[in-house]
Amino acid sequence: MINGLPFDPARMDASVPLGQTEIWRFSSDLHHPVHVHLDPFQVLRRGNRGPGEWDHGWKDTLDLLPLETAEVAIRFGDHAGKFLLHCHNLEHEDMMMMSAFETLR
């Protein structure tokens, strides 16, 4: 689950205007490689620290460690529609650890 909810493709967990830069905060119980579709992002901080040693540059997946919180900046640019973020751990993918969001013109 994400935010305590099972995946529902009909529910949009975020609605983002195109061209807007968002700061998204991810918190974790276990290790989750969080993959966001559509646009790359940059890691701003992990917990009270800045980016980790391997966080520099553009990412499409955040390696979120157990009991960790991290913030990323994502600018949603050109494509309006419905997209997913999901955990890239295969077992978690199989259990539909996903969330849908939409970008709006």
83 SS3 class: strand
Q: How many CB atoms lie within 10 A of CB 9?
A: 10
Specify the residue, 59 or 92, whose C-beta has the smaller distance to Cu ion.
Answer: 92
Is residue 69 close enough to count as binding Cu ion by CB under 5 A?
A: no
Nearer to Cu ion, 34 or 43 (CB): 34
Q: Find the binder of Cu ion among 7, 89, 96, 102 (CB under 5 A).
A: 89
- Residue closer to Cu ion by CB (options 78, 91) is 91
Distance of CA 88 to the CA centre of its chain: 11
Q: Is 87 in the site for Cu ion (CB under 5 A)?
A: yes
